[in-house]
Amino acid sequence: MITKFNFKDKTIKSYAIRKLTPFECFRLMGVRDDVIRMMQSTNAQAAERVAGYKSKGKAEDMAVSASQQYKQAGNSIVVDVLAAIYQQLWYQKEPKREAQTSFFADFFPEDQLPTYPVDKNHGEKLILTTFSGYDSQLMAADVLAQQHPDFHWTCVGWSDIDKYACQMHDLIFPQFADKALGDITKIDWQQVKNNVGGQEIDLFTYSSPCQDISQAGKQMGLKEGSDTRSALLWRVADAVEVLRPKYLLQENVAALVSEKFMPDFQKWLDKLSSLGYVSRWARLNAKDYGVPQNRDRVFCLSMRKDVAFDYQFPDPVPLKRKLEDVLQEEVDTRFFLKDEAVSKFLQANDKDTCVFHQFEIEPSHENAMALKAILTLYLEETHLWHCTPQELQEQLSSAHEDIIMPLFNDWKENGKFANPKLESMYHHFLEKK
């Protein structure tokens, strides 16, 4: 750990900088802990969950590597946002604002939509997802079912070509492994329609790749026929023409409705309109739906005209969770930056009159508070706050091996300080977390 001695306010703080773990990243995407544990199954556990699972690694290795877990989390949709959208679709609350009618309502009453859902199917909902990833869309359906015991759903198909996304999908939803449709460009939608036996699909989701419209990408666009990854969106039209789902749900990055790409998005909305769908879209941010992440995305709900209503996207809710609520208590040291890198970062960005000193101590809150107690008492008794920064640095270097670390190691070995004053200070600092 790197410890900062600030001469301005005479404070002592220890720093360790680390990256988020895959587990924490999944939490920031709204995935529940029990589901994350499935996603992080070992090969041995995966063999028990998924029929015909074959592993190339050791039994104790994770079925999906940590690097792939980061990627899958980054490519997915926040579950809580989806659950809020579903809530408004199937368990709509009365809108807070008064209903507004347009100037044309008196002249074209046939174009006005009902205020509330008109779909009378209260049975099991049939859901089909494309560009599925590990399927936050289905996770959100599970969340809604937990909130409403009368809500029942099943998956009649899902599609993705990323082998790691498919592998993770099977870990979470092994019961739907046989519903995989593969590459969206090769799906026979008439066969899919035959497979569902004439039943209507309630929800069809599509979140086509964002790389070609994202500000982080090359922004090659999504024009029909352009053959970019984002243009795979237009393949959805083939499915809609055949399946005629009641509702379509799209998600993509905020750049979709930017000045540059809005014309192409409007063409897509016009295409859906020509297929008999009424669309509503909005930008929703994860931080407004219970997740401590600033993730701004576009969501578009399209409704088949015979079941269309005046859909209102969910109202924001106060954010009660903080980032610290997402963090794990114990994290492997491999996720931490080396002290040298932390020291350079702090010194480059710090404007205080201070001294930085490195202690070869495993980063944890308890260790940091024990070290703080030792250093606080040491500086008080030696009056080192009255020294110059250079003098303090020299004294710390001298006392490091002879005084500070022996006291710390003794505390670590015995679980408490022999000095009552140190023990009292340690608990005082610990409780101030």
Please give the C-alpha separations between residue 7 and each of 112, 157, 377, 379, 400, in angstroms, as whole numbers. 68, 63, 16, 12, 19
What value does the CA radius of gyration of the chain take, rounded to a whole number of Å? 28
* pLDDT tens track for 389-425: 999 999 999 999 999 999 999 999 999 999 999 999 9
Say yes or no to pLDDT of 107 above 60. no
CB of 265 closer than 8 Å to CB of 221: no
C-alpha torsion sign, points 207, 211, 216, 218: negative
What are the phi and psi torsion angles at 7 (to 5°)? -70, -25
Helices of type H across 33-162: 33-39, 43-49, 66-74, 79-90, 136-147
Helix axes 79-90, 136-147, angle to 10 degrees: 50
Q: Rounded to whole angstroms, how far apart are CA atoms 149 and 223? A: 42
Total Cβ atoms within 10 A of residue 255: 22
CB of 58 closer than 8 Å to CB of 43: yes
> What pTM was computed for the model?
0.84
Range with top average pLDDT, 46-60, 334-348, 398-412: 398-412
Q: Give percent above pLDDT 70 in the chain.
A: 90
Q: Which two tokens stand for residue 278?
A: 């009424």
Helices of type H across 156-278: 163-172, 189-195, 236-243, 262-274
CATH 3.40.50.150 positions along the chain are 77-96+103-323
Q: Which of 4-8, 121-125, 159-163, 214-218 has the lowest mean pLDDT?
A: 214-218
**Tokens 């401590």 label which residue?**
292
Of the candidates 17, 122, 72, 66, which has an alpha carbon nearest to the alpha carbon of residue 341?
Answer: 17
* pLDDT tens track for 240-295: 999 999 999 999 988 888 877 788 888 899 999 999 999 999 999 999 999 999 99
Say yes or no to pLDDT of 25 above 80. yes
* pLDDT tens track for 70-81: 999 999 999 999
Total Cβ atoms within 10 A of residue 280: 17
428: confidence class by pLDDT, cuts 50, 70, 90: very high
- The reply to whether CATH 3.30.70.260 applies to domain 77-96+103-323 is no
Looking at residue 407, what is its pLDDT? 97
* pLDDT tens track for 183-202: 999 999 999 999 999 899 99
